[in-house]
């Protein structure tokens, strides 16, 4: 009897001690980190967001860096492919990272577009870690970036939906999983279909208006069609969304026609093959690998009227731009060192620059879109510069 009551009092003492210890620990944590959790005293912000909306600069330009096919693996332990024998022992994914940093330093882009096969799923045991490393430099420099998926990103620990969710939550990302209709996710094929609007220059009459549209599309991975394996393609549901969205004609340009738009996706469309017979700019060194299914992509772009160019990847040693019915189709050219390439042919990246027109005393809508590439050589050589589109209206001048 005595014993148990003593033990009871002892337990009670310990309980009070433990309780006060726990309370003081919670209190200290609250004091230490609460200011980090309660930004604006309402929301918990874990993602560092870029300044939005995206907009043209004071000098009237907006520059996009396209990074195609990084094929990132696990960093320093993932070897390069198709480099000189002497380079092989000193070459890894870190060379891809170095190239991305060099490109950012040289071009200072306003947006980076990662057009799929960002990671090479079968070369990594942790897709999230691999993405963090691959995209790393964009986050380091605080540059807004948008990613879509290729046919290899999902071959590791995350499926396509999980990958797009993760990509949309990373720092400085403007990637989205899929479009929303009145707040609800629109049912659409694939993951990573979204629109980014770019506003006019600060202080100009169009500073609060969209003047340039960027559409990102999921071209899928692989499919079986009538018993045959083939690559994915952009489905009807995605094209219908694209058409609907472009018809929501808010912020028409000064000329009265819809804002110029660019599209980004990974796998080429079959019509890109026809460019072989046209005066393309750049190199056409391998067969266009695409789906056997002929979808309505080109017809949709042509009927929309405002799509000036499509930027694709997938075929690493093609880096050309060619024109199909008034729409340019441009390869980024292989960027990553763990991706297949061609011996003695430098890894490369594409840059796209849109420039606003100059009105009497203010910047107006987009007047010209140019593109060029840079090689990962000693001087980061700039090649194949060309104008993709120029507005035909001049009445404002």
Ligand X SMILES: *[C@@H]1O[C@H](CO)[C@@H](O)[C@H](O)[C@H]1NC(C)=O
Contact residues for ligand X (CB under 6 A)?
A: 83, 87, 90-91, 95, 98, 205, 207-209, 250-251, 377-379
Supply the minimum distance, in Å, between the C-beta of residue 167 and ligand X. Answer: 25
| Residue with smaller CB distance to ligand X, 207 or 255 | 207
Supply the minimum distance, in Å, between the C-beta of residue 84 and ligand X. Answer: 7
| Residue with smaller CB distance to ligand X, 102 or 186 | 102
| Residue with smaller CB distance to ligand X, 90 or 276 | 90
Supply the minimum distance, in Å, between the C-beta of residue 370 and ligand X. Answer: 22
372 HSE (CA, 13 A, CB side): 12
Supply the minimum distance, in Å, between the C-beta of residue 115 and ligand X. Answer: 22
Supply the minimum distance, in Å, between the C-beta of residue 342 and ligand X. Answer: 13
CA distance linking residue 348 with residue 240, whole number of Å: 33
What phi and psi, each to the nearest 5 degrees, are found at residue 280?
A: -75, 160
CA distance linking residue 217 with residue 129, whole number of Å: 24
CA distance linking residue 200 with residue 363, whole number of Å: 8
| Residue with smaller CB distance to ligand X, 79 or 186 | 79
Which DSSP category does 131 fall into? H
Q: Which two tokens stand for residue 79?
A: 């070897």
| Residue with smaller CB distance to ligand X, 235 or 373 | 373
| Residue with smaller CB distance to ligand X, 161 or 306 | 306
Residue spans of alpha helices (H) in the chain: 2-37, 93-107, 127-140, 160-169, 236-247, 297-304
Supply the minimum distance, in Å, between the C-beta of residue 96 and ligand X. Answer: 9
Q: Is 366 helix (H, G, I), strand (E, B) or coil?
A: strand
| Residue with smaller CB distance to ligand X, 132 or 205 | 205
Find the Cα–Cα–Cα–Cα dihedral 129, 177, 303, 247, rounded to 10°.
Answer: -140
CA distance linking residue 107 with residue 382, whole number of Å: 11
Supply the minimum distance, in Å, between the C-beta of residue 291 and ligand X. Answer: 33
Which DSSP category does 309 fall into? E
Q: Which two tokens stand for residue 158?
A: 């995350």
CA distance linking residue 114 with residue 132, whole number of Å: 13
């Amino acid at each position: 009897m005595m014993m148990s009551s003593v033990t009871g009092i002892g337990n009670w003492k310990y309980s009070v001690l433990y309780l006060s210890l726990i309370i003081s620990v919670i209190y200290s944590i609250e004091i230490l980190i609460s200011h980090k959790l309660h930004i604006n005293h309402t929301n918990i912000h874990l993602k560092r967001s870029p300044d939005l909306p995206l907009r043209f600069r004071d000098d009237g330009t907006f520059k996009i860096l396209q990074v195609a096919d990084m094929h990132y693996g696990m960093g320093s332990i993932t070897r390069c492919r198709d480099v000189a024998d002497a380079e092989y022992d000193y070459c890894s994914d870190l060379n891809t990272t170095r190239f991305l940093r060099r490109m950012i330093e040289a071009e200072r882009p306003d947006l980076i577009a990662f057009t799929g096969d960002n990671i090479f799923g079968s070369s990594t045991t942790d897709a999230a870690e691999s993405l963090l490393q691959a995209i790393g430099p964009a986050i380091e420099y605080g540059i807004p970036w948008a990613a879509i998926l290729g046919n290899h990103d999902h071959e590791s620990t995350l499926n396509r939906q999980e990958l797009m969710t993760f990509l949309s939550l990373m720092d400085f990302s403007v990637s989205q999983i899929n479009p929303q209709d009145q707040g609800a996710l629109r049912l659409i094929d694939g993951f990573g279909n979204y629109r980014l609007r770019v506003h006019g220059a600060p202080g100009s009459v169009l500073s609060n208006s969209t003047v340039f549209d960027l559409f990102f599309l999921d071209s899928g991975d692989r499919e079986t069609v009538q018993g045959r394996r083939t690559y994915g393609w952009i489905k009807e549901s995605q094209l219908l969304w694209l058409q609907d969205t472009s018809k929501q004609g808010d912020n028409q340009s000064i000329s009265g026609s819809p804002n110029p738009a660019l599209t980004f996706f990974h796998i080429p469309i079959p019509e890109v093959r026809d460019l072989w017979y046209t005066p393309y700019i750049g190199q056409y060194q391998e067969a266009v690998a695409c789906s056997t299914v002929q979808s309505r992509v080109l017809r949709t772009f042509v009927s929309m009227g405002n799509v000036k160019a499509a930027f694709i990847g997938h075929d690493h040693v093609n880096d050309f731009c060619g024109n199909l019915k008034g729409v340019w189709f441009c390869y980024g050219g292989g960027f990553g060192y763990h991706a297949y390439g061609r011996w003695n042919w430098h890894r490369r990246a594409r840059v796209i620059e849109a420039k606003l027109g100059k009105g009497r005393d203010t910047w107006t809508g987009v007047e010209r879109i140019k593109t060029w590439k840079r090689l990962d050589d000693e001087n980061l050589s700039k090649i194949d510069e060309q104008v993709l589109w120029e507005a035909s209206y001049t009445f404002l001048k």
